[in-house]
Amino acid sequence: MNNQTLPRVVAIGGGTGMPVLLRGLKDLPIELTALVTVADDGGSSGRLRNEMAIPAPGDIRNVIAALSDAEPMLLELFQHRFAEGNGLSGHSLGNLLLAAMTSVTGNFNTGIKEISRVLNVKGKIYPISNDNMSLHAEMTDGTIVSGESNIPLSNKRIKRVFLSPQPIKPLPNAVRAIEAADLVVISPGSLYTSIMPNLIIPQVKESLKETKAKVVYVCNVMTQFGETTGYAASDHVQAITDHIGEGCIDAIVVHNEPIEKSIQAVYAEENAAPVIYDTERLIDMGVGIIEGDIIDHSQATVRHDNTKIAKLLYSIL
């Protein structure tokens, strides 16, 4: 790492886990880049994709909000979701603004850049691709489920996920960011529907293999029904390895404290449970282990603590 420059940290992901990670990282003395999935096809994002043929804006919107230093009221407005109105109901204002800026600039990535400038975003935000992509899953019984929002509803075990149409081209800036990084962080989040759509793009996969950066995966603390039921920490790593190849994941961040029984009971009603931290298998896989109490104990639900995660990750730079 060049001592004359800030360490370059690239975060890859989407869903609800990535904004939490980024809120912790954004105030560190680093050069931060977020690479975000655009495979969402549900809700407001899905409607805008279908009507305007643009990549899904929802995950991008949440990342912009996480990295923005704008006035709280402006951010509240950006995240506002209309509850009523013919054609407006269900839409987020931020999604509409991203769609509008894409129309004005003629390019989704340029639209993100302009919105980021207006909202005083710290760091860079890139969609993993400018392509309007769809996610599909092949289940262990051989059936194919199409659509990011449909995959967790199938109630079947996932064998692999893939994208269409082929070939999906990554944003060149996204690939360059991975190649130039000092640390690449794969964020927590829905493993198959928020994380994998980024990693399985061929040029992204290759850049993760070739980068000199340490690649660290922040593992989910709880399993997710419809995606990772019964998964241990090593199963998460194995799933990533099965999709992008051996040797890409250098280390995993895991929570090593028990989850309160009362909270476990709430999650059990949704067929979710704590991810088993299976140290020996992780060691056998050659994956470094970064462990600690990484959840926010002030929450009634299990959420990563952004400050704790950021401190752990910064310590390995």
The domain containing residue 194 runs over which residues? 8-37+128-314
Same domain, 144 and 29: yes
Tens of pLDDT, residue by residue over 87-117, are 888 999 999 999 999 999 999 999 999 999 9
Residue 198 has pLDDT above 70, yes or no: yes
Q: Per the domain annotation, does 3 fall within a domain? A: no
Q: What angle do CA 114, 147, 190 make, to 5 degrees?
A: 70
Q: Per the domain annotation, does 279 fall within a domain? A: yes
Question: pTM for the full model?
Answer: 0.95
Question: Longest Cα pair distance anywhere in the chain, in angstroms?
Answer: 56
User: What integer best gives the mean pLDDT of the chain?
Assistant: 95
Rounded CA gap, 198 and 40, in Å?
A: 12
Domain boundary among the residues 107, 122, 137 is at: 122
Same domain, 21 and 49: no
Number of domains in the chain: 2
Q: Per the domain annotation, does 2 fall within a domain? A: no
Same domain, 163 and 58: no
Going by the DSSP 8-state scheme, the letter that residue 151 receives in this structure is G
Q: Per the domain annotation, does 250 fall within a domain? A: yes
Same domain, 202 and 250: yes
Rounded CA gap, 156 and 152, in Å?
A: 8
pLDDT given at position 3: 45
H-type alpha helices, the chain: 17-25, 43-52, 58-67, 72-78, 93-105, 108-118, 172-180, 196-199, 202-210, 233-244, 261-268, 279-284, 306-314
Average pLDDT over residues 155-167: 96
Quote the percentage of the chain above a pLDDT of 70.
Answer: 99
Same domain, 156 and 48: no
Rounded CA gap, 257 and 235, in Å?
A: 19
Q: Per the domain annotation, does 149 fall within a domain? A: yes
Domain with residue 24: its CATH number is: 3.40.50.10680
Q: Which two tokens stand for residue 19?
A: 């904004």
Average pLDDT over residues 248-275: 96
Same domain, 194 and 240: yes
Same domain, 154 and 246: yes
pLDDT given at position 85: 82
Q: Per the domain annotation, does 209 fall within a domain? A: yes
Same domain, 160 and 64: no
Q: Per the domain annotation, does 1 fall within a domain? A: no
